C-alpha cells in the first residue's frame, strides 16, 4: 500500500474548480524541448550546426511552426541545441516530428555524449488567467517525491558506472531542501533564484521563468524539467512529453485535497540517497558516478517508477489514442541507459520501444469507415438497447451483428466508444 500523506491547506480546489483547471491546462499548455547533440568526430561544430539547420529549416519564430516544428539550432557547450517549438501534444504528430528530427541528427553523425541533455518546457500559451498556487505546490512536491525514479526512467548513459549525466546541469541539491509545507512557492522560487549553491536555471525542476501575482497565484506558468538525459528515440521523446503533461494534470487533481507529501522521514531520506547515487559530479568527464547502483537498487528504482505510473495512469485516459503509457512502462523497467549498456544502437532502441508501444497507423476497411460515420453523424438514434442498434447497423452494412461487434472492437482500440441510453446510440468520447 502506498504511503500517501497530504498536507492540509485552506486553499484546496473544489471538485468543479479542479475540473475547470484540469480542462483549461490540458487545452492551453504546450510542451517544447531542447535537444542537445555533439558533432561527429572530425567535423567542426559550426559545420555540424549548419548541416542540421539546413535540413530542419527552423522558423525562427515561436508563432510559426514551420515544417518540423523547430525554432532554431544554436551553439551549446556540448555542440548544438535544437529548440523545438512547444505544441499541444498529440502522439502520432509528435512521433512523426521527432522521428524526422532524430533522423537528421543521426544522418549527420550527431552523438549523444554525457555532456548532452534533453529539456522539456511546459509553456502557458494562451493562458489568460493566473493558476492557483496549490497546483504549482503539488507539481513541485510530486516531482520531489518521485525524483530518483524520474531520474532513473529518463537516464541515458552507456555504462553501469555512468547511468546518468552529471549533476551540474540538473541539480537536486536545492530542490530536496524546500517544501511548500512551510514556504510559499514564491518564497521557494526566490530562494532558488538567489542560491549560491545551484544556478537558478540548473535546478532539477527549473522555476526561473515563473512570475506571481500579488496574491501568490502563478502568472507565467512556465516550467522546465531539466533532468532527462540525452535522447535519440522519437518514441521515448514523445512519451516523456506526455509524462510531464500528466504530472501537471495529476497535480490539479491532488489540489482538491491539499499538497502531496514526499513521504515519512526514513522514506524521504532514502530517496535523497538514491538521488545522490544517480545525480552527482563524481564520475569521469561529464557523468555521475553510479557505481553504487546495484541490481537491488535498480529493482528499487523500478518499483518507484511503477508506483508513479500507477498514480498517473488515469490521467493518460484523457489523452485518447495514445501509446505513451505503454512506452513509459517499458522505460520504467529498462531505461535508455540499460539498453545502451547492452550495446544497442539508438535505432535498435527505437524499434524496441516502437514494438512495445505498437504504434501502427490503423488501416480502415470500408465497412469500418461506414460504421464510424454512422456513429459520428448520429445516423442511427433512439434505439432502446445496444442490440437493436447493432441490428440496424448490420442492415446498413449488409452484414451480421457479430461482424458489427468485431468492427466496433477495432474502432474502440482507436477511439473511446460508449453507449448513450438517452440518445439511443453509440457515441465517441474523443
DSSP result, 202-240? GBSEE-TT--B-TTS-BSS--EEE---B----HHHHHHH
For residue 386, what is the DSSP state?
Answer: H
- Cβ atoms of 36 and 230 within 8 Å: the answer is yes
* φ and ψ at residue 178, rounded to 5 degrees: -110, 125
Question: Which pLDDT value is given to residue 356?
Answer: 73
Q: What is the pLDDT of residues 397-413, one digit of tens each?
A: 999 999 999 999 989 87
Average pLDDT over residues 360-389: 89
pLDDT digits (tens, 9 = 90+) for 70-95: 999 999 999 999 999 999 999 989 99
Largest Cα separation within the chain, whole Å, is: 74
pLDDT in tens, 164-180: 999 999 999 999 999 99
Could you tell me the strand order of the sheet in which 79-87 lies? 70-76, 79-87, 29-37, 118-124, 223-225, 205-206
* pLDDT of 414: 80
Give pLDDT, residue 181: 92
What's the pLDDT band for 321 if we cut at 50, 70, 90?
low
With beta carbons less than 8 A apart as the criterion, state whether 215 and 228 touch: no
Amino acid at each position: 500500500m502506498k504511503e500517501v500523506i497530504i498536507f492540509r491547506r485552506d486553499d484546496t480546489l473544489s471538485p468543479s474548480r479542479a475540473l475547470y483547471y484540469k480542462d483549461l491546462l490540458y487545452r492551453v499548455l504546450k510542451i517544447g524541448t531542447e535537444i542537445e547533440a555533439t558533432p561527429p568526430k572530425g567535423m567542426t561544430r559550426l559545420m555540424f550546426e549548419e548541416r542540421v539547420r539546413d535540413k530542419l529549416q527552423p522558423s525562427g519564430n515561436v508563432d510559426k511552426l514551420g515544417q518540423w516544428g523547430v525554432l532554431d539550432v544554436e551553439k551549446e557547450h556540448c555542440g548544438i541545441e535544437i529548440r523545438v517549438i512547444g505544441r499541444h501534444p498529440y502522439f502520432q504528430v509528435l512521433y512523426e516530428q521527432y522521428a524526422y528530427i532524430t533522423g537528421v541528427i543521426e544522418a549527420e553523425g550527431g552523438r549523444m555524449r554525457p555532456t548532452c541533455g534533453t529539456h522539456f518546457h511546459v509553456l502557458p500559451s494562451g493562458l489568460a488567467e493566473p493558476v492557483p498556487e496549490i497546483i504549482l505546490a503539488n507539481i513541485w512536491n510530486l516531482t520531489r517525491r518521485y525524483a530518483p525514479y524520474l531520474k532513473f526512467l529518463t537516464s541515458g548513459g552507456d555504462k553501469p558506472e555512468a547511468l546518468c549525466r552529471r549533476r551540474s546541469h540538473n541539480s537536486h541539491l536545492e530542490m530536496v531542501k524546500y517544501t511548500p509545507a512551510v514556504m510559499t512557492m514564491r518564497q521557494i522560487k526566490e530562494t532558488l533564484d538567489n542560491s549560491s549553491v545551484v544556478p537558478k536555471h540548473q535546478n532539477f525542476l527549473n522555476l526561473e521563468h515563473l512570475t506571481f501575482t500579488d496574491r501568490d497565484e502563478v502568472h507565467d506558468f512556465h516550467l522546465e524539467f531539466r533532468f532527462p538525459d540525452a535522447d535519440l528515440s522519437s518514441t521515448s521523446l514523445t512519451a516523456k512529453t506526455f509524462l510531464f503533461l500528466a504530472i501537471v494534470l495529476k497535480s490539479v487533481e491532488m489540489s482538491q485535497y491539499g499538497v502531496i507529501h514526499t513521504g515519512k522521514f526514513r522514506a524521504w531520506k532514502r530517496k535523497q540517497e538514491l538521488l545522490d547515487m544517480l545525480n552527482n559530479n563524481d564520475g569521469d568527464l561529464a557523468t555521475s558516478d553510479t557505481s553504487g547502483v546495484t541490481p537491488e537498487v535498480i529493482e528499487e528504482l523500478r518499483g518507484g517508477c511503477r508506483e508513479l505510473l500507477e498514480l498517473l495512469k488515469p490521467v493518460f485516459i484523457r489523452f485518447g489514442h495514445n501509446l505513451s503509457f505503454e512506452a513509459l512502462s517499458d522505460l520504467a523497467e529498462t531505461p535508455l541507459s540499460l539498453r545502451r549498456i547492452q550495446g544497442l544502437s539508438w535505432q535498435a532502441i527505437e524499434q524496441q520501444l516502437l514494438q512495445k508501444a505498437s504504434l501502427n497507423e490503423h488501416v480502415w476497411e470500408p465497412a469500418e469507415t461506414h460504421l464510424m460515420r454512422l456513429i459520428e453523424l448520429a445516423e442511427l438514434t433512439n434505439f432502446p438497447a445496444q442490440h437493436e442498434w447493432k441490428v440496424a447497423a448490420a442492415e446498413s452494412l449488409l452484414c451480421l451483428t457479430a461482424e458489427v461487434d468485431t468492427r466496433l472492437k477495432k474502432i474502440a482500440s482507436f477511439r473511446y466508444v460508449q453507449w448513450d441510453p438517452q440518445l439511443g446510440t453509440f457515441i465517441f468520447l474523443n
